[in-house]
Amino acid sequence: MDGSLLSRYAAARQSVSVQKGGKGKIFIIVGVLLIVSVLISVFSGMFNFRKEEEKEEEKEEEEKETETGPSCQLDKKIRSGNLGACDSVSDIDPVGVTFTGAYFKPKAPTKDNSWIHELSSTGDTKEYIAAHQASDNFCKMVRFQIKKSGDVCRYQTLDAGYVSSPNVQGASLCMNKTNVLDNWSKKTVQKLASRDTDVGYGIQELKYNKFCD
């Protein structure tokens, strides 16, 4: 076999070898791409599954809140005005007051809910009397209301008054609901105060529970 034939034979073998090697690389690349595609599909499915689980959990939480209603809010405080969203005035339960006005000595006495009595309830309005047995032998009273307007409840003091009441256990006319509500109808009107320096009586701060049974 002469030299030219040998050269052509070697070139042909090299060409075949290159073609085979090229095909092999293509198969490897295609295989890698397939594996990557499968992995992406698997992880995408897992991610979407997790998102669906989260949506289901959120839906369950919303349904629970709808079934049970808003959570109980204890010992909230307000000086006047907006009590926030409510379904009815019964969502607001007054549990304490801090009085104000120059005619309280010592200043700004506080009372718990045993001194707060419901005077009336009509539709979207409830009225209450907050009472204080003073050391100067007067039962000092302030009337306030909780009123629902639209989807919101509001608080407002209305007026004040007093009756003579001995500051003696068992003799006070300011110690129970029956006496307080009866004496409110017989009261002497007093000025409504909004500060400790104002003449008269008022409520500096109302403490209340909201959405609590």
pLDDT of amino acid 12: 47
Say whether pLDDT at 213 is over 70: yes
pLDDT of amino acid 79: 95
**Band of pLDDT at residue 37, cut at 50, 70 and 90:** confident
Assessment of whether the complete model's pTM goes beyond 0.75: no
Choice between 184 and 53, residue whose per-residue pLDDT is larger: 184
Residues 95/83, Cβ–Cβ less than 8 Å: no
Q: What is the mean pLDDT of residues 106-133?
A: 97
